[in-house]
């Protein structure tokens, strides 16, 4: 809480109130998203304590339903699916053209448009022309910032790859009987060996994806034990309870082996970022600072895992922007179970569409997904990996009976 007060310039007591409000807002936003269907255009929180929830819709007639949930209605021109379709055109264009002059693009739900960050207006225009996207559909933010991945080739804490590069441990995970941790994909290739902060043998990269995504996981030897702990401020530890995705505008904190514990807010999800090594899609942009060596470290909101540090610009002296790889896609892609205060080890349920729709612990559920549990149908309100002690019947913040 003290780091949130420091980095977000909050008064005593506001940080705690903010976390409570953000957790509650996520449930209301999920319920309204399911109610609005294809008219939904995004949701975000605002204010010093995140007390105001705004939900965007394309239909004025939805205003009463939104306000009945204690939220502010924003009537806009495009729904979320339409905005994502525009961004997908830019993602496709980035595969066939260089985008170093347009390194970042994303869906900005607060302005109801896709935004491109470019070094100049002409660079943005050229990128949009290549993508076949009309200029009036996209906002342009001119900036000289050039995101970079945040690994380091100097000694320090955390873990080392092939006795050279240094990155930070993200979250403890399990797969069958194998323990390990999630980290950034750019930190190492499959088969790369790792040593710990104490230079003792640690493990091996089991899988890694970069660019495209920025995710990896390391399987560790029997000398290391997976825990739900994340290092926080002044030697304190946070114990993770799950991986419920936070809303735009919510507070988020990061731990890293170079700069320690810093906090900020979520600017937007589903952000595409071009690094010198290539483009990574599906990242989340934040106002949290980070520096080389912090890569792979955990982002958390309250006691919920959010993602692993990917890259950014700036530093923790002057401030900056940092992107993280969301944790739920990482868990789903690699078939991992997040180590939490309630999670049991084991193999998550298959993530393909052909799987039975019965709820299962370990499965990653997206907003809007429907499941059956004890003969009752439920719809997911917030993206998360299901925990063993968190069935739909016992977690109304995550599931709505239908």
Kindly report, residue by residue over 112-130, the tens digit of the pLDDT.
999 999 999 999 999 999 9
pLDDT of 72 strictly over 60: yes
CA distances for 390 relative to 173, 331, 333, 359, 373, angstroms: 18, 17, 22, 10, 12
Strand ranges for 221-351 from DSSP E: 229-231, 237-239, 251-256, 260-275, 278-286, 298-301, 304-315, 319-326, 337-338
CATH number at residue 156: 2.40.10.10
Region 354-370: mean pLDDT is 87
Both 263 and 277 in one domain: the answer is yes
Q: 159-163, 237-241, 346-350: lowest mean pLDDT where?
A: 346-350
Q: Which of 7, 62, 152, 214 is catalytic?
A: 214
pLDDT of 46 strictly over 90: yes
Q: What is the pLDDT of residues 294-321, one digit of tens each?
A: 999 999 999 999 999 999 999 999 999 9
Both 63 and 137 in one domain: the answer is no
CATH number at residue 17: 3.30.300.50
Report the DSSP beta bridge partners of residue 183: 216
Domain count, the chain: 4
CA distances for 47 relative to 20, 36, 304, angstroms: 13, 24, 21
Domain of residue 157, residue span: 145-348
- Of 126, 142, 158, the one marking the end of a domain is 142
- Of 75, 100, 123, the one marking the end of a domain is 75
Both 329 and 209 in one domain: the answer is yes
CB-based contact 10:4 (threshold 8 Å): yes
Q: Which of 251, 295, 310, 383 is catalytic?
A: 295
Residue-level pLDDT at 149: 74
Q: What percent of the chain has pLDDT over 70?
A: 95
CB-based contact 204:194 (threshold 8 Å): yes
Residue-level pLDDT at 356: 67
Q: What is the DSSP string of 243-270?
A: -PPPPBT-EEEEEETTTEEEEEEEEEEE
Q: What is the pLDDT of residues 337-359, one digit of tens each?
A: 999 998 544 445 444 443 468 99
Both 185 and 327 in one domain: the answer is yes
pLDDT of 394 strictly over 60: yes
Q: What percent of the chain has pLDDT over 90?
A: 85
Residue-level pLDDT at 351: 47
With vertex at residue 29, the alpha carbon angle to CA 377 and CA 91, rounded to the nearest 5 degrees, is 100
Q: Which of 7, 108, 186, 294 is catalytic?
A: 186
Region 150-161: mean pLDDT is 54
Region 216-235: mean pLDDT is 91
Both 40 and 93 in one domain: the answer is no
CB-based contact 102:117 (threshold 8 Å): yes
Both 151 and 123 in one domain: the answer is no
CA atoms of 269 and 248, how far apart (whole Å): 7
pLDDT of 156 strictly over 80: no
Both 274 and 335 in one domain: the answer is yes
Residues in contact with 222: Cβ distance below 8 Å, sequence separation at least 6, in sequence order: none
Both 12 and 160 in one domain: the answer is no
Mean pLDDT of the chain: 92
Both 397 and 301 in one domain: the answer is no
Residue-level pLDDT at 150: 61
Both 196 and 119 in one domain: the answer is no
Both 258 and 182 in one domain: the answer is yes
Region 234-239: mean pLDDT is 87
Region 190-204: mean pLDDT is 92
Can 269 be counted among the known catalytic residues?
no
Both 324 and 394 in one domain: the answer is no
Q: What is the pLDDT of residues 11-20, one digit of tens each?
A: 999 999 999 9
Phi-psi region of 254 (alpha: psi -120 to 50; beta: other; left: phi over 0): beta
pLDDT of 138 strictly over 90: yes
Can 262 be counted among the known catalytic residues?
no
pLDDT category at 148 given cuts 50, 70, 90 is: confident
CATH number at residue 367: 2.10.10.20
Q: What is the pLDDT of residues 265-292, one digit of tens each?
A: 999 999 999 999 999 999 999 999 999 9
- Of 23, 52, 75, the one marking the end of a domain is 75
């Amino acid at each position: 809480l003290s780091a949130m007060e420091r980095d977000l310039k909050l008064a005593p007591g506001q940080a705690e109130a903010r976390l409570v409000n953000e957790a509650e807002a996520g449930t209301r936003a999920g319920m309204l998203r399911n109610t609005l269907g294809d008219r939904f255009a995004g949701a975000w929180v605002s204010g010093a304590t995140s007390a105001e929830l705004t939900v965007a819709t394309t239909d004025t007639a939805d205003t009463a339903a939104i306000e009945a949930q204690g939220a502010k209605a924003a009537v806009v021109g495009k729904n979320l699916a339409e905005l994502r379709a525009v961004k997908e055109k830019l993602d496709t264009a980035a595969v066939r053209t260089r985008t170093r002059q347009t390194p970042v693009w994303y869906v900005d739900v607060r302005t109801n448009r896709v935004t491109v960050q470019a070094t100049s207006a002409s660079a943005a225009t050229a990128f949009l022309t290549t993508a076949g996207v009309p200029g009036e559909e996209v906002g342009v933010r001119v900036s000289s910032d050039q995101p970079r991945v945040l690994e380091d080739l100097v000694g320090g804490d955390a873990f080392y790859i092939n006795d050279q590069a240094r990155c930070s441990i993200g979250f403890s995970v399990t797969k069958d009987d194998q323990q390990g941790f999630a980290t950034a994909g750019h930190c190492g290739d499959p088969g790369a060996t790792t040593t710990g902060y104490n230079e003792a043998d640690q493990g091996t990269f089991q899988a890694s994806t970069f660019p495209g995504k920025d995710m990896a996981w390391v399987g560790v030897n029997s000398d290391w034990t997976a825990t739900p702990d994340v290092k926080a401020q002044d030697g304190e530890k946070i114990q993770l309870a799950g991986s419920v995705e936070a809303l735009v505008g919510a507070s988020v904190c990061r731990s890293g082996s170079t700069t320690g514990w810093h906090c900020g807010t979520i600017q937007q999800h589903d952000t595409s970022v071009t690094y010198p090594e290539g483009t990574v899609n599906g990242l989340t942009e934040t106002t949290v600072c980070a520096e080389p060596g912090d890569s792979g470290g955990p982002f958390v909101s309250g006691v919920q895992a959010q993602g692993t540090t990917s890259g950014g610009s700036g530093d923790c002296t002057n401030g900056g922007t940092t992107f993280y790889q969301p944790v739920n896609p990482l868990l789903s892609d690699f078939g991992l179970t997040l180590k939490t205060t309630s999670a049991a080890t084991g193999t998550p349920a298959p993530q393909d569409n052909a799987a039975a729709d019965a709820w299962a612990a370990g499965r990653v559920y997206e907003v809007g997904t429907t499941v059956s549990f004890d003969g009752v149908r439920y719809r997911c309100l917030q993206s998360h990996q299901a925990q063993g002690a968190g069935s739909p019947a016992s977690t109304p913040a995550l599931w709505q009976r239908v």
